[in-house]
Each structure stands twice: as structure tokens, then as C-alpha cells.
A and B are shown apart, each in its own frame.
Chain A
Amino acid sequence: MTTFSECSLPSAIFDRLTWTPLLELSAREVFDIMLGTNLRILGSPADAKDGEFTALVGLAGSLCGVLSIRCTNQAARIMAGKMLDMPPEEVDSDSWDALGEIANMIAGNFKGKLSGVGNHCMLSVPTIIVGTDYQSRSITGGNLIEVIFDFEQKPLWVTLELHE
């Protein structure tokens, strides 16, 4: 059985030009189908401090790395509210759960769009980080795609970091 520490399978060739629109499309489809929301690309750079909720999903196999999404507490509540069809102010810890599940679906949707990759790539269960006072150090070698969306007038970062 392949473990998440193994990356011995044939690796997909990182292709930022092709993969960036696929990552955008993957996120848009998840928000459209599961939340009934149209995501737009944010026109201007966002302040990284506007994102105290982060959900991480690990990828292993033909794609090795991490997909993360980051947003504000309020945005996470709105997402959970839309998924559960309830007012955001009534959402409790479901906002963490919803964010993790959204990250999971974007990662799964993305890998499914890469021809021949999906069969050889596994996803981890999501991890949620709360707070902005942390640093992450990537060992992925610098292959990074980041898309910043406007979700309900709040920034939403979708980031894919991959091993070379």
C-alpha cells in the first residue's frame, strides 16, 4: 500500500500555464455546485492577515504537495451557512468542517481534471489551522499556484504547492 511519505510513482509534470485555470475551474465548480455561489477572481492583492482560517489537504503519489484554502472566520461561516442552508450566525464549529470539506473537494476536483493523474494521487483528510500568527515552510521546491478569489466581498486564497 502506498503511504503519504512515498512519491515514487510517475510524477505529473508541473505546468503552471495549464494548471492555473484548472485550479480556478475546480474551485469555481465546487462553490457553484455545493454553495450556489459564483466565485470571481479578486482584482487586487489581498492582505494575508484577512485569513485566519486555513484548511490543508495533502496530496501524495503522482502529485505530491499540499492544497490549502484560507479565508476569514466570517467567510468560513458564510460558506458553512450556504452549504447547510442556514444563517451564518447560527453556524458553530461546522465552519471548520465545511472549510475542510471544501478544500477536499477542490483538491479532488483538480486532480480529476489532470488526465492520467487522478488514478495515482491520494488525498489526506483535511487539517484546519485557526489564527494568522504562524509560519509555514514548504518543502515542495517552489512549484506554487495561488489564486485569490472574491467570496462574498471577502478574499479567499486557494493555493497549490507541489514537489518538483
Chain B
Amino acid sequence: MSQVRALIVDDSSVMRKIVERSLRQAGLDLSSVIEAGNGADALGLLDTHPVDLILSDINMPVMDGLEFVRQIQTVEKLRGIPVVMITTEGSESNVVQALSLGAKGYIRKPFTPDQVKEHVLPVLGL
């Protein structure tokens, strides 16, 4: 399995660590992991840090995950990066909205490492 550069966006530092651990448990070989506490900070990081995968919460201060996904789709060099939402906002309308905005997957909190594997590997073509 090739190395993956991941961006994890969540306003909870604990959850960012759990997501990273779950990615490793899923078998991903992470060459780098960068973190942001909201969508705006994440967009700033993406200017200078290319990544292969983004996992993002929805409910965050400053810029929420849905706006973050929307913004990504407006930037040509970012548009192709797969985004998987990981959030407590797991209602059907949020899922539909996130996918329509360009997200490639959706994981509801609480989640198991197996669920992360099930939803993340396919968007990477693994």
C-alpha cells in the first residue's frame, strides 16, 4: 500500500488523535498527518501542504465542514482530493448535503476503526 498524506480537520484535538489512530489501524501507511481545528485553518494549510486524503468534522467554529468542502471544490488543485466527513451530524439531510458538495464518504460518530477502514479505503481506491 502506497504512503498517504492526510489532513484531519476537527475542533477536538482528542478526536483528531483518534481519527489518526483509526487510519493507522485501517492499515494506511501515513507518511504525514497535518491537523486543523476548523475549515479556514485547513484551507490555509492546504496552500502549502499537499495531501492525498482529508477527513473533516462538520460542526466546527469559524468555518464548518460543509463550507470547507464547498470551498475545496472551488480550487482546482484541491478539487480532486477525496474528503470523508466524520461527524455527529449524521442526519440524512447532512449526508446528502455533504455528498452533493463533493464529499466522497461519511462516517458517523461514534465510530469503530473498522468503519473508518470501510469508508476510507475505497475513496483512495484501495
| Number of residues on chain A facing chain B (CB within 8 A) | 27
Q: Which of the candidate stretches B39-47, B70-78, B105-113, B118-126 sits at the interface with the other chain? A: B105-113
Q: Is A123 in contact with B12, judged by CB distance below 8 angstroms?
A: no
Given A104-B88, A105-B110, A108-B89, also A125-B60 (CB < 8 A): yes
Q: Is B17 in contact with A108, judged by CB distance below 8 angstroms?
A: no
> Which residues of B sit under 8 angstroms from A121, Cβ to Cβ?
91
Given A33-B110, A105-B110, A108-B109, also A123-B18 (CB < 8 A): no
* Among B59, B94, B112, contact of A104 (Cβ-Cβ < 8 Å): B59
- Asked if A107 lies at the interface with its beta carbon under 8 angstroms from chain B, I say yes
Which of B91, B108, B112 counts the most chain A CB atoms within 10 A?
B91
- Asked if A73 lies at the interface with its beta carbon under 8 angstroms from chain B, I say no
- Asked if B35 lies at the interface with its beta carbon under 8 angstroms from chain A, I say no
* Among A80, A105, A118, A124, contact of B109 (Cβ-Cβ < 8 Å): A105
Kindly supply a per-residue 1/0 record for chain A positions 60-98, scoring 1 wherever the CB is within 8 Å of any chain B CB and 0 otherwise.
000000000000000000001001110000000010011
- Asked if A100 lies at the interface with its beta carbon under 8 angstroms from chain B, I say yes
**Taking chain A's interface residues, is the majority helix, strand, or loop, or is none over half, making it mixed?**
helix
* Among B11, B21, B59, B92, contact of A118 (Cβ-Cβ < 8 Å): B92
* Among B18, B60, B88, contact of A107 (Cβ-Cβ < 8 Å): B88
Q: Given known contacts A33-B112, A112-B108, A125-B59, what 8 new A-B pairs fall within 8 Å (CB)?
A: A83-B18, A84-B14, A98-B12, A105-B88, A108-B108, A118-B91, A121-B91, A122-B89
Binding site for A on B (CB under 8 A): 11-15, 17-18, 21, 59-61, 87-94, 108-112
| 18 cross-chain CB contacts under 8 A | A34-B18, A80-B14, A94-B14, A100-B12, A101-B12, A104-B12, A104-B59, A104-B109, A105-B88, A105-B109, A109-B88, A111-B91, A112-B91, A118-B90, A119-B94, A123-B59, A125-B60, A125-B61
